[in-house]
Structure 1
Amino acid sequence: MTRIVFSGGRVFTGRASEPGDVVVEGDRIVDVGIGLDGDTRVDATGHTILPGLFDCHVHFMFSGADLVRSLNTPFSLPFYEAIGNMKATLQCGITTVRDALGADLGVAEAVRRGLVQGPRMQIAVNMVSQTGGHNDDWMQCGAHISPPLHPGLPDTVADGPEELRKVIRTLVRHGADIIKIASSGGVMSPRSNPRHAHFRDEEIAMIVQEANAAGIAVMSHAMSGDGILTAVRNGVRSIEHGVFLTDEGVEEMLKNGTWLVPTLMAPRMVLDQAAAGTAISDVILDKARSVVAQHTLSFQKAHQAGVKIAMGTDSGVGPHGDNLNELTLMVEYGMTPAEALHATTTSAADLMRLGNDLGELAPGKLADLVLVEGDAEQHVKAGTLKQAVRGVYQNGVTVG
């Protein structure tokens, strides 16, 4: 088996970058150190070698927030658009993701079987919502405006523990690797309020119980303070967004070991598209504007308190391939560049329960590597990390 050595660069250890070489055989890293040899040499002089990066919150089947465009898009076209979305994400160095709504088992299997290029993924299939909640697409005119349900995408609007038990089992049947719920309203939904909690304790307890029985975790879209608390005290693994996080919510997250996936980019992507001329309703724009400042404060509160944080973007709400902008926002609002990279590698792997194989450059791990020209931490701070990526390797194979 060919022994490939990435030599002469600096290796990101999870907390800092140090001089070192990385040796790969097949799809695994076999050695990390100084002065290593191999059959083939990749010159990493002047470069930082990062582990494959993670994005813990994407939507490959979505290509922006333009509702009018979506309504005029043929049903099958988003599946083809997803091919480009996945490739753009992979090429910026993100080799593993959670798709938080939209990608069905066929999309995931297309990547797993090598039919198309993309990050390895865990899929939620669809988001579980209460009637009138963040995934209930009913409009005031009486129409439903989300992409139509199909055999791979079951209906997941439900109320009460027993309806929810059936929904969770149905999602597992459809190939869900993670259960996604909405324990509050959101920005992009037409009739929900981000400040209002959704689902009661007994409902989320049932969801978590059924997910645990299937050996998978629960992630919760949770913006409101009460919605965060209800999700955390009933055992969800991660809070997505966490916009109106309270001191009590922070205490509960620390006590339960709950993760935060902040997605600082999410409301900003909506506002950027509106500024560029995308037709977005005033209701949604008002909600996006109202959450940005509080979103930042809640991220800072969580970080300062020591809440576990993993990187996620909500890409799909905005462009795919710009995911690394999230790291720069995390640094702007209090993280060091090394902490942001840790949140995008080791921490994210731990959140997704993939730490045995991914998240670090260490012997025995899968050979996902990103070659960055110059100092990766400085690029994170400056917002130039994407432009500095010179090579992406997944399972030891270079990404074209």
Structure 2
Amino acid sequence: MRHFALAAGLACAIAAPASAETVTIHAGRLIADPGRPVIGPATITVIDGRITAIAEGLAPPAAGTRLIDLSSKTVLPGLIDTHVHLSGDPDDDYRNQAVDSDEWATLVGARNARATVRAGFTTVRDLGSGPLVGFALRRATAEGAIPGPRILSSGPAISTIGGHGDVSGFRPEVLAVLGSGNTCTGAEECAARVREFSRAGADVIKITATGGVLSQQARGLGQHFTDAEMKAIVDTAHGLGLKVAAHAHSARGIEAAARAGVDSIEHGTFADGEAIRVMKTNGATLVPTLMAFTGIRERLGKGIYTPTVEAKVRQTLGEVGKAARAARAAGVPVVFGTDAAVFEHGRNAEELALLVEHAGMSPAEAITSATTAAAHLLGLDSEIGRIAPGYSADIIAVSGDPLRDVRTLEKVEFVMVRGRTIE
């Protein structure tokens, strides 16, 4: 059987323990990397959860191996959503914070993790959960205790007192009980908070650089942290080997966060030319979360949001996709992320069509944003985002051709994560 080159070293097989399970996958069409040509019928070998070889044609499986027949399907890498909130749901009342336990949030997260992975998302970055909820979900999916994607978790977002991400809308004595120790004031305290979150097990640091839409605070969408506070957060995080994701809506808040050196701007709603220029200069990536706007539009005027929130929703809906299109034109990387929980988990793939419609991406570019580009943002370039020897066996399959119609990926028919088939 002739092996072919998808990238340097692709034809090299990888040794595996003698006791490891071997799985043979027959692919009708293989999009091993959306930035490279599609391959005809191919055979993928998976040993102990890792891809070890790819060969042209449908090779008969060796004795004792398990065959997965996807010969009538298009096979591609598992998708990556870089902005989700697994333990949240879109129609939650903010007052539930005073009623629901972290144990309940973890169970909700387990349900949503299953919905997410069944939709074809084999890796997610959870950017805001209870202090230990995201970490518990991360361990449960890694060990196969529950079906779900690979999870990178920030724990709670680091916020200013009274700003987006802080608990608000309750009596003072209730606020004192519900606070999760995620706020800080001043550069020194903010640096300490990063160290505490690192100690707790955060994979990434999330900050709320500006006001937010769905919080009860009515302080607008402008910059919340000072420049010095954001710089202290970023420098401390980078010193600990952690990337920083900044929730940011206003142009000047985006500019300040990018100048401080954050790795990604989440939402970026009102980014103007100067904000985008600073993002490009400082190497920031934009995660536009276009599905978040779908979620809030679907709920506007239905009594789900308070008047405070509805006023902020109306400020944003006319801006959908403008920043993403402008960022792409300026050469700023635009990476897939949805803000799942603002809409129903499992609808994540609808973001792909929005990137095509609003950001001007081709289907291949949109898929790249959810595979290789997303893997790069997460620092997992050599682990996920491609189907190649040495990579984790994170594999999905669909009928049809997603390179022609990206909505094909809204109906994923097969999912494998770390070599485990998801039912």
Unpaired stretches in structure 1, ≥5 consecutive residues: none
- Once residues 388 and 408 of structure 2 are traced to their aligned partners in structure 1, the CA distance between those partners, rounded to angstroms, is 26
Q: How far apart are 1:136 and its partner, in Å? A: 2.1
Q: Answer yes or no: is 1:2 the counterpart of 2:26.
A: no
Partner of 2:45: 23
Partner of 2:355: 330
Partner of 1:271: 297
Partner of 1:369: 395
Q: How far apart are 1:123 and its partner, in Å? A: 0.6
Partner of 1:93: 120
Q: Within 5 A, what are the aligned runs for 1:122-133?
A: 122-133=152-163
- Once residues 73 and 373 of structure 1 are traced to their aligned partners in structure 2, the CA distance between those partners, rounded to angstroms, is 44
The answer as to whether partners of 1:134 and 1:192 remain within 8 angstroms in 2 is no
- Once residues 248 and 164 of structure 1 are traced to their aligned partners in structure 2, the CA distance between those partners, rounded to angstroms, is 27
- Once residues 172 and 95 of structure 2 are traced to their aligned partners in structure 1, the CA distance between those partners, rounded to angstroms, is 20
- Once residues 123 and 216 of structure 1 are traced to their aligned partners in structure 2, the CA distance between those partners, rounded to angstroms, is 11
Q: 1:34 aligns with which of 44, 49, 56?
A: 56
Give deviations 1:226-250, integer Å, cap 9, x for gaps. 1111111111110000001111121
Q: How far apart are 1:7 and its partner, in Å? A: 3.1
Q: How far apart are 1:268 and its partner, in Å? A: 2.2
SS at structure 1 position matched to 2:80? strand
Q: Within 5 A, what are the aligned runs for 1:180-199?
A: 180-199=206-225
- Give the TM-score taking structure 2 as reference length: 0.87
Count of residues paired in the alignment: 392
Change beyond 3 A, Cα 1:147–1:55? farther
Change beyond 3 A, Cα 1:141–1:72? closer
| % identical aligned pairs | 34
Change beyond 3 A, Cα 1:3–1:60? closer
The answer as to whether partners of 1:165 and 1:206 remain within 8 angstroms in 2 is yes
Give deviations 1:298-344, integer Å, cap 9, x for gaps. 11111222211111111112211010011111111111111110000
Q: How far apart are 1:281 and its partner, in Å? A: 0.9
Unpaired stretches in structure 2, ≥5 consecutive residues: 1-20
The answer as to whether partners of 1:6 and 1:23 remain within 8 angstroms in 2 is no
**What amino acid maps onto 2:38 in structure 1?**
S
Partner of 2:34: 14
- Once residues 252 and 77 of structure 2 are traced to their aligned partners in structure 1, the CA distance between those partners, rounded to angstroms, is 36
- Once residues 135 and 44 of structure 1 are traced to their aligned partners in structure 2, the CA distance between those partners, rounded to angstroms, is 44
Partner of 2:9: none
SS at structure 2 position matched to 1:47? strand
- Once residues 176 and 384 of structure 2 are traced to their aligned partners in structure 1, the CA distance between those partners, rounded to angstroms, is 35
The answer as to whether partners of 1:127 and 1:179 remain within 8 angstroms in 2 is yes
- Once residues 170 and 128 of structure 2 are traced to their aligned partners in structure 1, the CA distance between those partners, rounded to angstroms, is 23
- Once residues 229 and 68 of structure 1 are traced to their aligned partners in structure 2, the CA distance between those partners, rounded to angstroms, is 30
Partner of 1:118: 148
- Once residues 155 and 249 of structure 1 are traced to their aligned partners in structure 2, the CA distance between those partners, rounded to angstroms, is 30
SS at structure 1 position matched to 2:247? strand
- Once residues 282 and 17 of structure 1 are traced to their aligned partners in structure 2, the CA distance between those partners, rounded to angstroms, is 50
SS at structure 2 position matched to 1:14? coil
Q: How far apart are 1:188 and its partner, in Å? A: 0.8
Change beyond 3 A, Cα 1:189–1:273? same
Q: Answer yes or no: is 1:290 the counterpart of 2:315.
A: yes
Partner of 2:82: 56
- Once residues 74 and 402 of structure 2 are traced to their aligned partners in structure 1, the CA distance between those partners, rounded to angstroms, is 6
- Once residues 228 and 356 of structure 1 are traced to their aligned partners in structure 2, the CA distance between those partners, rounded to angstroms, is 30
Partner of 1:299: 324
SS at structure 1 position matched to 2:169? coil
The answer as to whether partners of 1:165 and 1:210 remain within 8 angstroms in 2 is yes
- Once residues 165 and 7 of structure 1 are traced to their aligned partners in structure 2, the CA distance between those partners, rounded to angstroms, is 49
Misfit runs of 4+, over 6 Å: none
Give deviations 1:320-379, integer Å, cap 9, x for gaps. 101001111111111111111000000000000001111111111111100111112334
Change beyond 3 A, Cα 1:78–1:274? farther
Give deviations 1:112-149, integer Å, cap 9, x for gaps. 22221211111110111112211122227657579935
The answer as to whether partners of 1:268 and 1:288 remain within 8 angstroms in 2 is no
Q: Within 5 A, what are the aligned runs for 1:249-264?
A: 249-264=275-290
Tell which deviates more after alignment, 3-12 or 345-354. Answer: 3-12
Q: Answer yes or no: is 1:318 the counterpart of 2:343.
A: yes
The answer as to whether partners of 1:20 and 1:32 remain within 8 angstroms in 2 is no
- Once residues 351 and 164 of structure 1 are traced to their aligned partners in structure 2, the CA distance between those partners, rounded to angstroms, is 24
Give deviations 1:255-313, integer Å, cap 9, x for gaps. 222111110111320221346x4521122122112212223211111122221111111
- Once residues 218 and 331 of structure 2 are traced to their aligned partners in structure 1, the CA distance between those partners, rounded to angstroms, is 31
The answer as to whether partners of 1:244 and 1:295 remain within 8 angstroms in 2 is no
Q: How far apart are 1:5 and its partner, in Å? A: 2.9
The answer as to whether partners of 2:32 and 2:388 remain within 8 angstroms in 1 is no
- Once residues 27 and 320 of structure 1 are traced to their aligned partners in structure 2, the CA distance between those partners, rounded to angstroms, is 26
The answer as to whether partners of 1:137 and 1:146 remain within 8 angstroms in 2 is no
Tell which deviates more after alignment, 313-322 or 291-300. Answer: 291-300
Q: CA RMSD, aligned part only?
A: 2.2
The answer as to whether partners of 1:156 and 1:167 remain within 8 angstroms in 2 is yes
Q: Answer yes or no: is 1:207 the counterpart of 2:228.
A: no
Partner of 2:3: none
The answer as to whether partners of 2:81 and 2:338 remain within 8 angstroms in 1 is yes
Partner of 2:422: 399
